[in-house]
Structure 1
């Protein structure tokens, strides 16, 4: 903001010391500091007000863009064309609709085969105090499904 070189600051300090005097200099510095703090507060409030106005303007512009894009999408894909095909719908649009009136998202979950889960191998070193118990089922050959 202000470009004050160290030599200029030293000159101001010497002039203030000569004209104000060493006795009143601390009180004068306190007064100047208090007013500088108030000026910085006003500048900070002004800057935050400008920032909020810019944010509001950007938000209004984004809302206008969103509304225009939403309107374009609604014109391109009208909701009544998906619900019940009519005479105004193109043959290509009717061709892609399911015959039972559901959409692709309404088809339900896709079933996958159950994975083969093999039991953990029994450790090779088993103490004599603990007998080894295995509850493992035989593993079928690859391609065969377990019941």
Structure 2
């Protein structure tokens, strides 16, 4: 887009040296660098904002397509409670009643003999 040859860059540097002078040239280059950095930051922010807007628009379009396709499929194949239960999927569960305990867990007391008891700190084992 902006094609600058090395000879053109040298000519601009020479004119800047003559017009601005060697004393003020570093300060002028700092100011130019600052403004170029600001311009690049604004361009980067604009581009990221534009990209996010495009991404959101594409996402909304995909959601609309998905919803219309889902509605089409659901209208072609209406689901009832009988078909859901017959297809191997679980039938709706009644959550109003208390849970049913199928089997009570067995609790076994640990042996109290000295052979199986762990050694305590400070006791000597024989």
**TM-score by structure 1 length?**
0.57
CA distance in 1, matches of 2:5, 2:46: 27
Partner secondary structure for residue 4 of structure 1 = coil
Q: For residues 9-88 of structure 1, what are the structure 2 equivalents within 5 Å? A: 9-80=9-80, 83-84=81-82
Structure 1 residues without counterparts, runs of 5 or longer: 85-96, 107-147
Corresponding residue for 1:102? 86
Which structure has more relative contact order (CA 8 Å, sep 6+)? It is 1
When the two chains are superposed, the root-mean-square deviation of aligned CA atoms in Å is 1.8
Q: List, as ranges, runs of 4+ consecutive aligned residues in structure 1 with deviation greater than 3 Å.
A: none
**Superposition deviation, residue 2 in structure 1:** 2.3
CA distance in 1, matches of 2:10, 2:73: 67
CA distance in 2, matches of 1:63, 1:31: 48
Partner secondary structure for residue 22 of structure 1 = coil
Structure 2 residues without counterparts, runs of 5 or longer: 91-126
**TM-score by structure 2 length?**
0.66
Partner secondary structure for residue 86 of structure 2 = coil
